[in-house]
Structures are given as C-alpha cells and as structure tokens.
Structure 1
Amino acid sequence: MTWSRLFVSQYFPLFVFFVGTVPLLTGWVCYHLAMRPRAVAVFHPRDLQTSYLGALTLPFALFLAFMVSDIWNRENRYAQTVLQEVQQLDAMLDIARVCGPSCAPVDEAVGAYARSLSRYEWDEGWVAPRPEVSQAFEGLARAIAGAEADTTVASHMRSALLSGEIQLRRLRTDRYFILHADLAPHRWIVVLILGVLSQIGLAALHVGKRPQLIVALVTFSIAFSTTLAYTVALSWPTVDESIVPSEELRRILE
C-alpha cells in the first residue's frame, strides 16, 4: 500500500513518532478549547451524565483491542511462515547432500536463496518481492531442473526437490499476502476519530476545571499516544530470529 511503502523503510521510526504525537496535539487542542472563557461561561458540565464518557470510550477501547488482536495474529502467521521457509530450506539441503555430487548445484542454489532471503526479505522495510531474491529463486529453479534431467538422480529425490521448490514459492507468496492483507488505512482513521471523540468527552466533563481537566486529558492522551504508536510499530511484522532454531538458521546461511 502507498502509505506503508513511503514510511516503512528508514523513515518508519519517524512515522511511528509522528503518529504518537497526534493524540498529544489533539489533547492540547481540547484543553485549550475547554478553558476558553466563552466555553466556561456557556457550557455546564453538570448537565452531562457520567455515562456520556463511557459511551465514547467503550467503542474506542473495543475497536482498538480487536485491531491489536488482529495485528498479533498476523504477526504470528508471518513468523510461522518464515519458520516454515527455514525448515523447508533445511530439508532441501538434506536432500541435496544425500543425493551426492549430482545435486551439488542444488546445494549451492539453496544456500544462495537462503542468504538472499535473509538479506532482503527477512528484514524490516520489506514491502514487495525483491528482484535479488527472485533472481536467486530462478537460480534454484534452474538447479532443480538440472537435477530433474539427470538420470543418475533417484526419482524420489527429484520429486522431493521439485516439491520443495513449489513449497518455497508458495511460502514466499503467503508471506507477501500476510504482510499486506490487513493494512487498511481506514482502520487507523477510525481509531483516531474514536480517540479524539473520547478526548472531547473528557474535556466536556471538565470545562473550566483546570486541575481535573489537566489530569484527565494528560493521562488519557499519554495512554492514547503510547498505545497508538505501539500498535503502528507492531503493524509491520519483521522476523525475530529468536523464533527460528539457531542451528537450522546457521546451517542454511553458511
């Protein structure tokens, strides 16, 4: 998506910081409006019921909670897909090495593809299939095609290598789909609108009451800012190498 491609690379931390400042700015605006003499003279907070604030904050809390849950689920799916890629690459190395000298090109191509994945796509800032990785995969496909044409390679090994190639292609496509499927910008707009409405509700309940207004808006705005920035930071899953068995990772990259 356009906005994510603009900010997800080296500018992503700045983008997260900018998003985190938005609730603080809107909270300051609400405070300024609630302390204006005209608002103090005209508006009477005692006319509002306490349930008024709950009616605003409950949809905000529920919507944000469901969105964070979706993001965590997607993070788990992405991590699982990467782990499956590592396991498939490791299994193909075993097949190539059992096959012997005839499959040496496949062994080298698997390592080259794994290193290319680690450098270009298993990293923060990846948004689309990289040409370098696609080129490495084509090299792997050529090596497997060569093994397929070699009659000295056992038929079950040729079948396993071809199956592994298909599986790696599918996993790369799945990883791209997981990354982009749930990044709808309108969800973030709804969160901002509901959060700002909650700030307005807090300001309305404390018009003219400076200490109460400061405490209410500062605490809610900081919580709003922290939660929103953390959610945005989580929205772009990256590979945590701690989830991948170190021996398998080292083996396919060396």
Structure 2
Amino acid sequence: MTWSRLFVSEYFSVFVVFVATLPLLAGWACYWLAMRPGLVAVFVPRDLQTSYLSALTLPFALFLAFMVSDIWNRETLYAKTVLQEVQRLDAMLDISRVCGKSCVPVDDAVGGYARALSRYEWDEGWVRPHADVSVAFEALVDTIATAEADASVPTYIRNVLLSGQLDLRRLRTDRYFILHADLAPHRWIVVMVLGMLSLIGLAALHVGKRYQLIISLSTFAIAFSMTVAYTVVLAWPTVDESIIPSEQLRRVLE
C-alpha cells in the first residue's frame, strides 16, 4: 500500500479532518507552553523584533501559495485531459456508427469503457489505473482487433479506430502522470513544519499575555487548519462535468 492509497480511500474524509486538527492542537500546545509560569519568568517577549515573526510566516505563506497554484494548474490540466478523452470516445462512437453492423461490438465496447472511466477514474479518490477500467479497455482493444481483421470494414475506418485506441491509452497514462507528478510527501511536510514554526513565533511574541495569545494563536491556527485541509482536498482532482457539453457526455455514457 502506497502513501497515496493510504490517504485516498474510504477514510479520506477522516484523513482530512485529522490534518485539519493538527494546527489546532499545535496552537493549543503553544498557548499552554507560553503561559507556563517558568517560561513567563525567564522569557522577555519585548526582546524580539517584529521582523522575527515575518521571517517565519513569509516562507510559509509563499510556499503554500506556490503549492496551491501548482495544484490548481494540475486540476485544470487534468480536466482538459478528461475532456480530450470524452471527445475521442465521442469520435469513435461516430466512426463505429458510420461503419454499420460490422462495428456494433466496437460501439458497445466504447460505451462500456466510457462508463468504467466515469465510475472509477474520472472521480476524486483514485490513485492508480483501476482493474475494471483496464478490463474494459482490453475488451475495447480486442473488439477493434476483430474489426481490423474484418474485410468488410473500410480501411479508413480501421485506421481511425486504431488511432483512437492509441489516443485513449495515452490519455489514460497522462491522467495518471498529472495526478502524481507534484504530490511528493515532503512538500506537505515542509508546509506543516513552516506553519508550526509560525505558531511558535506568534506564541514567543506574546508569552504570558493570555488574551493576545488567544486571539493571535486561535486566528492563525484556524486559518492554517482550513487552508491545509482545503489544499489536501484539492490535491486529488475530480472532473467537473459542467465543463463538458452535457449532450456529448450523455451520449458517451449512455
């Protein structure tokens, strides 16, 4: 089991809640430490410059902003790839129906592959090619191979069907690459470490000051929690079917 499969499963919502809870717990721990009498007695917050906090929060904000930007760009690229798959499937349906009775099995196989994609791989949560989709694709390959061997099928139709098969295989591989290209675990670790350091910096500036600690740590911890949780959810793209013409999508899936 890979780390991505561990995170994206039927317990994905539990994982998101867990990630969102970490900053809140860290904020509470920083508050507890900053109010300890022993620390209050020896630590003088006024000795710290205000630039100290900026030195911690600026790298956190910049790194997280670039990370979210990469995720949004990947989401767009993922949606474009799915749209290309739908267009290619739609074109293959047109070709098979022009072909006539000889290509009816191809028409059925294209529809079966499209429905398998929609159910298992165009949705949020998949991390590797699904076995049922692979079976549907192999069935499509076999059906096209049968059409290739059928002399009653015009040569140009056979060429288009074969080209469509190759494009579908490539696009499926492209989706997998897009999903995993920028999801290295160390990026999430860096975000969490920088966020925790920012919480420590806020606490250090207000050691012994109860109300200042409550306001500063709670607002930052809540913002940190919401941002990280939202970023985790965005990290696993799902197709927005509103970007695909409804008639075209319905035709492919039905």
Give the drift of 1:94.
0.3
Alpha-carbon contact 1:9-1:124 (below 8 Å) kept = no
CA distance in 1, matches of 2:28, 2:128: 39
Who is 2:145 aligned against?
145
Give the drift of 1:211.
0.8
Who is 2:95 aligned against?
95
CA distance in 2, matches of 1:153, 1:163: 15
Q: Which moved more, 1:57-66 or 1:99-108?
A: 99-108
Q: Deviations over 1:193-240 (max 9, x none)?
A: 100110111001001111111110011000000000000111111122
Q: Partner amino acid for 1:53?
A: L
Q: Deviations over 1:156-213 (max 9, x none)?
A: 1111110000000000111111111111111111001100110111001001111111
Alignment of 1:165-184 (within 5 A): 165-184=165-184
Give the drift of 1:3.
2.0
Give the drift of 1:95.
0.5
**Normalising to structure 1: TM-score of the pair?**
0.98
Q: Partner amino acid for 2:131?
A: P
Who is 2:244 aligned against?
244
Name the % identity: 76
Give the drift of 1:81.
0.8
CA distance in 1, matches of 2:213, 2:121: 47
Who is 1:130 aligned against?
130
CA distance in 1, matches of 2:146, 2:111: 17
Q: Partner amino acid for 2:96?
A: A
Structure 2: tracts of 5 or more residues without a match: none
Q: Which moved more, 1:188-197 or 1:124-133?
A: 124-133
Aligned length: 254
Who is 1:222 aligned against?
222
Alignment of 1:193-208 (within 5 A): 193-208=193-208
- Root-mean-square deviation over aligned CA pairs: 1.0
Give the drift of 1:124.
2.5
CA distance in 2, matches of 1:213, 1:113: 57
Alpha-carbon contact 1:106-1:140 (below 8 Å) kept = yes
CA distance in 2, matches of 1:132, 1:30: 49
Alignment of 1:1-254 (within 5 A): 2-254=2-254
CA distance in 2, matches of 1:124, 1:211: 42
Q: Deviations over 1:39-81 (max 9, x none)?
A: 1110111111111100000000000000000111111111111
CA distance in 1, matches of 2:113, 2:193: 45
Q: Partner amino acid for 1:99?
A: C
Alpha-carbon contact 1:111-1:253 (below 8 Å) kept = yes
CA distance in 1, matches of 2:100, 2:89: 17
CA distance in 2, matches of 1:135, 1:29: 51
Give the drift of 1:241.
1.5
**Normalising to structure 2: TM-score of the pair?**
0.98
CA distance in 2, matches of 1:97, 1:209: 75
CA distance in 2, matches of 1:49, 1:7: 40
Runs of 4+ in 1 over 4 A off after TM superposition: none
Q: Which moved more, 1:147-156 or 1:188-197?
A: 147-156
Q: Deviations over 1:68-126 (max 9, x none)?
A: 00111111111111111111000000000011111111111101111111112122221
Q: Partner amino acid for 1:82?
A: V
